Amino acid sequence: MTKVNPGTMAEVEYTESASFRDYVALAKMGIVRANLLLVFAGFFVAATYQSDTPVLYLFEVWPQLLLTMLGSALVISGSCYLNNFVDRDIDYLMGRTDNRPSVTGKISGEQILLLGLTQLAIGTLLLLIVSYVAAVFGLIGAFFYVVIYTMWLKRTHTLNTVVGSISGAVPPLIGWAAIDPALHIDAWLMFLVMFLWQPPHFLALAMRRVEEYRAAGIPMLPVVNGFAITKRQIIWWIATLIPASLLFLHYGLIYVIVAAGLGGYWLYLGLKGFKAEDEIKWANKMFFYSLIYLVVWIVTLVLTAL
């Protein structure tokens, strides 16, 4: 298939028409699903503060929940579209992204930009119907992901992973603000935990894909400073995450045991990396365990909030 000219980003004649699957691919559904899980968690935990029967309360506020989830999905998807639009000039250099419709030319840059902005606008409007605070946080997340991370730091500095984590930590605030715009301290604690979770998650990913990032000229920490420093950074972030996650100790003993166990085992895996013979294999384990951590932590938080 003819691809977009990576030097000039000039559009080319398509040899294939885009399918529905191509448009879905630009939305990065893995990112959308993970962030929607966080939005729901924020919404649900906030509901426990509004009623002694939060499950029944959710049935009362289901229109708010529906608008919040749909609006958040569109804001996140729109942001991913804009990310694809901006990154067309480097995605062709990486194996995991070189077949995206934005690179192959199946969907034009103009279409991607228009669809991204449209989704972002509609999503923000839906959130605005629920709560202006939720809408503001949605826009903050989009701004950090598209402008600060994608357009600037991803291409210029190793701090891209850290600063970009702000956008990924915003979803619980969106969900919470949909019910309680004043935001309880627990909403900010959820933000803190999600902010601290992301650097070790994405640094492990950067180690797995280090050669691709190097080929694309993206200054990820493993590319610029090597694996040894990246491993140390991962350890420090996990060590900071553990006490932060335990700030929810008022959720009870079960939560504390699970959170401490999740963090402790992740730290154990991280420390084993200093003696790992196959560093990519170790990075794979760290990356996939971070996903397990995320899901188990969210489920535990939601259940113990009851």
pLDDT at 13 over 80: no
Average pLDDT over residues 266-275: 97
| 263 vs 192: CA distance, rounded Å | 15
pLDDT at 6 over 60: no
* 77, 85, 107, 120, 294 from 80: Cα distances, Å: 5, 9, 14, 10, 21
Written as one string, the DSSP assignment of 164-194 is HHHHHHSHHHHHHHTT-TT--HHHHHHHHHH
Q: Which two tokens stand for residue 298?
A: 């969210």
Average pLDDT value over all residues in the chain? 94
Across 44-69, average pLDDT: 93
Q: What is the mean pLDDT of residues 48-55?
A: 90
Residue 93: pLDDT over 60? yes
- What value does the mean pLDDT take over residues 200-210? 97
For the entire predicted model, the pTM comes to 0.92
For residue 206, pLDDT over 50 is answered with yes
**In which band, very low, low, confident or very high, does the pLDDT at 95 lie, cut at 50, 70 and 90?**
confident
